[in-house]
Structure 1
Amino acid sequence: MKYRHGTITDYTLDKKKHTVIIYFSFYHRNKTVQRRFCIMKADRMYSKFRNLPIYRLDGTVDLSYLEGMRVSVKAVECFNRIFIKEMIFDLSYYCFNEERSSDNG
């Protein structure tokens, strides 16, 4: 299982079912864009999101930070759904882009 780099494009919060649906956009080997989603139970979100900078200073979660976030995901795909094993903030992407922008002035 490899890490796949992608962008979180959207999320949907279902308060009745206590779930969050997260939509990803990945680049496949042949440079085509794949769109996938995963359904996550709210009680398991902390274990998956603890490595992402989505927490306010008081410890509450702000899911609006998710949209557009570049992440690395280790996941299993099954019938157009992704079962996430691990998700981390893609620091290499952000550090590389920050270095490029600071070099330009």
Structure 2
Amino acid sequence: MSQALTKLEASIEAQQKKLAQLKAQKQRIEARQRAKEQGLARKQDTRKKILAGALLLELMEKDPELRKQILGKLSTFLSRPDDRALFGLPSGHASE
């Protein structure tokens, strides 16, 4: 009887170890899936910004008044000198 009990306990221990390994594997798979989904969301967000920016640049080329308004907003929005230079804005921030 004691031998059967020892064998059963060893089996339970092995099953618990296997369960822990499977849970860890599941967590790794879920983490990879979350990272993949986050990467896709970032790519989609970047693409939306590029497309919206392309539309805005085209509209600014066609409408001088809109260009003036957008550049005014960009002047207060952009603070990094290299970002401001992309739009031909002076390197100092407008609110300074």
- Tell me the TM-score normalized by structure 1: 0.19
Greater length-normalized contact order (CA 8 Å, ≥ 6 residues apart): 1
Higher helix proportion: 2
Computing the radius of gyration from Cα coordinates, the structure with the larger value is 2
Higher strand proportion: 1
- Tell me the TM-score normalized by structure 2: 0.20
